[in-house]
Amino acid sequence: MDRQTDRDVSDVSNLLYRHPELYEVVYDGAGHAVAKLAETILHDQLGRRAESLLDIGCGTGRDLEYLATHIPDVVGVDHQQAMIDYARTRRPEINFQTGDMRTLRLERAFEAITCFGYALANIHANRDIDKAIATFAAHSQPGTVLILEMIDPQRTDKLPRSFTIDIPDLRAEAIAEYRHHYAQQLLERRRTWRRAQGLVHDHVNFRLIYPKELEHYLDNHGFEVLGAYELSEKLNAASAFVAARYRGEQS
Ligand SMILES: C[S@@+](CC[C@H](N)C(=O)[O-])C[C@H]1O[C@@H](n2cnc3c(N)ncnc32)[C@H](O)[C@@H]1O
């Protein structure tokens, strides 16, 4: 059973979540590197382009905008209303919904499901990770390809330490400090933004999930791990993109 000390998803304070327009300045997507990798993985695994895709924890919908140029039927879901409001305004042609990956049920299946930007790492308790994977299964059909951007627990030293915002209205720089909490398998990030108006502090805990652990969660819900991919881009250097295929429900 999970301990009371498991920290909840609400334990996040993030300047960029309060200002989604700044999120895209800091995480500019490096020429859609993640979306392009996903496109390649999906093409390799399906042997053709995907016809439908659900992006869970889609944030501002930046990756979905690129993927929607090749995939006709895309839906983005995020549990933060501010992100969804921004995504809808910025990308009105895309279907964005507010929802929690632990409970979401759209009552339909997709050929591809993605979860990028360590969205799953915001889920801390084992029972909640189980619920999130059950959600992925609930939106899958046999053959659905799932791609998860995970923090590689062996490469946390590659997580970004410095961040910059440099736009006409705002110049800010941040330094991030990371601290491991061994028993909870959490990586705490404290980030301090320096702006002319003063300091702003961010705080988030990322749940680290080891590969065999993830395989176990996925297998329990009918997914077979296909492999892990990497990107060299600075902001993704600690990422493992784990691809899995849905076999169908367990008997
Ligand atoms: C770092 S952002 C990544 C956004 C986007 N996928 C990207 O790569 O740019 C993580 C996102 O996960 C979302 N998130 C966190 N917990 C969630 C949950 N339980 N259900 C759905 N989305 C969640 C956050 O609101 C946030 O937008």
Closest CA to 39 of 204, 182, 31: 31
Domains of the chain: 15-152+209-246 (3.40.50.150), 157-203 (no CATH)
Instruction: Return the bridge partners of 112, or none.
Output: 53, 145
CA-proximal residue: ligand 1, atom 14 (nearest): 57
Q: Which band of pLDDT confidence, cut at 50, 70 and 90, is reported for residue 7? A: very low
Please compute the mean of the pLDDT values over residues 47-72 and round it to a whole number. 96
Number of Cβ within a 10 Å radius of residue 45: 18
Q: Does the structure show a pLDDT above 60 at 31?
A: yes
Please compute the mean of the pLDDT values over residues 190-207 and round it to a whole number. 89
What pLDDT was estimated at residue 207? Answer: 98
What span, in angstroms and rounded, lies between the C-alpha atoms of 165 and 170? 7
100 CA → ligand 1 middle, Å:
9
Q: Does the structure show a pLDDT above 70 at 6?
A: no
Please compute the mean of the pLDDT values over residues 88-108 and round it to a whole number. 98
Q: Identify which of 24, 62, 79 to mutate to test ligand 1's pocket (most ligand atoms within 8 A of the CB).
A: 79
Q: Identify which of 18, 54, 122 to mutate to test ligand 1's pocket (most ligand atoms within 8 A of the CB).
A: 122
Please compute the mean of the pLDDT values over residues 164-169 and round it to a whole number. 82
117 CA → ligand 1 middle, Å:
7
